[in-house]
């Protein structure tokens, strides 16, 4: 008898729970969800640890903090880098946070938040490489880059270079290790992490920084209201110290002083 009551109570609870989940599917309730797209291959910004199921990284913590500030539940989907902007345009997702550089070309198709991280591109070669010491030396070489990225754009500008566009930075590093390419161009913090903590062996990053780039959160071109909400939330977490905590967690140091976006390397603060 007692047991029956418990089961009875349980099933009512279960039905209620299913009912609630069901509500989540109607478009009205969905406005409480911030649908985020990211390419989960870019440690320490977005990656999946073998031991953990949740997506991790600086961007992941940042967007969760922004979502919380906006009172929205954050739902993150893993999408190939060249599919992120099309997914925004198709309104399958609301925002992209994916170490995405704010560029004029992208601004023709999407809106960006205020910059949230200062980055830049850098060359990676095999540890025993002696003939590639700077950007100049890349002429006529074979270069591996992630498809759809600013690295890919830079690589295509290099005279007589063969550009191999691969799906992930990890694919690029493997191509380089296997001598399928002479160099990789990729974002500096990601190279640093891969070499120091990501178990990528036999490769070294060159000290030269090719570009200064700012990362921004992207939204569909007509989503001006959302852009404002994201910027307000970003400002709040910068003001209340949450941003600093997240920065410290992933980069272990102080946040560098804010810089205007994408200025030439010669003027950028190191």
Helix, strand or coil for residue 190?
A: helix
Task: Rule CB under 6 A: choose which of 88, 93, 100, 194 binds ligand ARG.
Answer: 100
- Give the integer Cα–Cα distance in Å for 193 and 41: 12
Stretch near ligand ARG under the rule CB under 6 A, chosen from 12-20, 41-49, 228-236, 243-251: 41-49
Q: Does 99 bind ligand ARG (CB under 6 A)?
A: yes
Give whichever of 76 and 237 is closer to ligand ARG, judged by the CB atom. 76
Would you state the structure tokens that stand for residue 228, as one six-digit string? 């404002």
Stretch near ligand ARG under the rule CB under 6 A, chosen from 107-115, 122-130, 142-150, 198-206: 142-150
Q: Angle at CA 213, nearest 5°, toward 212 and 218?
A: 175
Q: Does 149 bind ligand ARG (CB under 6 A)?
A: yes
Would you state the structure tokens that stand for residue 132, as one six-digit string? 């590639």
Q: Does 211 bind ligand ARG (CB under 6 A)?
A: no
Stretch (H or E) spanning 95: strand 95-96
Give whichever of 57 and 67 is closer to ligand ARG, judged by the CB atom. 57
- Binding residues among 179-208 for ligand ARG as defined by CB under 6 A: 187
Task: Tell me how far CA of residue 167 lies from CA of 9, 87, 164, 178, in angstroms.
Answer: 50, 17, 10, 16
Binding site for ligand ARG (CB under 6 A): 39, 41-42, 46, 81, 98-101, 146, 149-150, 187
């Amino acid at each position: 008898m007692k047991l029956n009551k418990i089961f009875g109570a349980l099933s009512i609870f279960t039905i209620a729970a299913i009912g609630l989940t069901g509500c989540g599917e109607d478009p009205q309730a969905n406005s409480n969800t911030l649908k985020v797209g990211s390419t989960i291959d870019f440690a320490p910004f977005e990656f999946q640890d073998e031991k953990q199921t949740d997506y991790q990284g600086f961007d992941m913590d940042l967007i969760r903090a922004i979502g919380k500030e906006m009172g929205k539940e954050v739902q993150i989907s893993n999408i190939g880098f060249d599919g992120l902007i099309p997914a925004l345009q198709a309104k399958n997702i609301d925002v992209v946070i994916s170490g995405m550089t704010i560029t004029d070309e992208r601004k023709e198709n999407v809106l960006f938040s205020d910059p949230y991280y200062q980055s830049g591109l850098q060359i990676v070669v095999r540890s025993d490489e002696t003939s590639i010491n700077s950007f100049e030396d890349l002429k006529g070489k074979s270069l591996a880059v992630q498809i759809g990225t600013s690295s890919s754009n830079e690589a295509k500008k290099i005279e007589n270079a063969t550009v191999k566009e691969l799906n992930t930075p990890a694919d690029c590093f493997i191509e380089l290790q296997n001598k399928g390419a002479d160099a990789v161009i990729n974002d500096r913090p990601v190279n640093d992490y891969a070499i120091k903590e990501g178990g990528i062996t036999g490769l070294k990053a060159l000290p030269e920084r090719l570009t200064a780039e700012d990362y921004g959160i992207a939204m569909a071109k007509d989503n001006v209201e959302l852009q404002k909400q994201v910027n307000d939330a970003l400002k709040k977490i910068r003001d209340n110290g949450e941003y600093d905590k997240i920065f410290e967690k992933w980069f272990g140091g102080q946040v560098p002083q804010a810089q205007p976006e994408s200025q030439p390397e010669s003027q950028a603060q190191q």
